[in-house]
Amino acid sequence: MSLLIGARGKDFVVVIADGYSLRVTAEDTSVERTDAPKIFKLGELPCVVAHHGQNELGQVRVESVFKSDGFQRMHTRSWNRGLNVAMGRTIERLDSVVSQTLKSSKHRGIFGMWFAGFWPCSGMPEITELVWSQRSANAVRIAAQPFGNLVVGGSGLEYLREFFKKPVDEEYDARELWNKPVEYSMELVKRLYAVAIKKQKAEGKMNFGGTRTMAVITRDGVDLGPLD
């Protein structure tokens, strides 16, 4: 229950995320936090990880997992070996706790991770997802997939599918992202975010919202911070 939007150009990746952390019980769903971080630097590397779905793994917040010395060190040590190695190491480290968390939940859920930025294997901007999804009470599936120039993850996807193949408005079109400057991508993801918020509000839902955070990733590093 999040909203992640990513945009990719020739020399950069832009990712925007909401800040809601929800508490789901049998009785209701409530907003536990409005400024939960969902995008994380990996040391001084030119890449980030982001997440949607579960905000806790076991009894530990995802924020604590991603900021831990062990997780950070794993990525800084594996970066030179490429994105596939980084993803493989992540699965080795997190699969057990993610799978057990999903199996113990009363609500069939997912845990999705984005890897966004630059790795030596290709030198090109990348946005790739690892997602754990609960198929049954005793079965959790892992899938990995690379994405194109526009990516949407979390609960907001249902509101933005149409914009993969049509303009956002008269000025912005995701099909033109690759050849546009970084400022174009930054504004496009902001406009898509606003569209998703408006559509969600019209349905009386509250699956995402709160403080927006944006990461701008180039080969030189990551600029990450809140927009609100």
Domain count, the chain: 1
Q: Are 5 and 189 in contact (CB under 8 A)?
A: yes
pLDDT band at 135 (very low <50, low <70, confident <90, very high): confident
* pLDDT classification of 121: cutoffs 50, 70, 90: confident
**pLDDT per residue over 170-184, tens digit each?**
999 999 999 999 999
Which of 70, 129, 59, 123 has the alpha carbon at shortest distance from 97? 59
Predicted pLDDT at 159:
97
First to last CA, the chain: 20
DSSP string, 177-207: GGGS-HHHHHHHHHHHHHHHHHHHHHTT--S
Overall average pLDDT of the 197-221 stretch: 96
32: left (phi over 0), alpha (psi -120 to 50) or beta: alpha
Element (H, E) at 216: strand 213-218
Residue-range definition of the domain harbouring residue 56: 3-226
**24: pLDDT strictly greater than 80:** no
Per-residue pLDDT tens over the stretch 47-106 = 999 999 989 998 899 999 999 999 999 999 999 999 999 999 999 999 999 999 999 877
Mean pLDDT of 223-228: 94
Does the pLDDT at position 228 exceed 90?
no
Count of alpha carbons within 13 Å of 168, Cβ hemisphere only? 22
User: Tell me, what CATH number does 82's domain have?
Assistant: 3.60.20.10
Between CA 128 and CA 88 the distance in angstroms is 13
Predicted pLDDT of residue 89:
96
Q: CB of 128 within 8 A of CB of 145?
A: yes
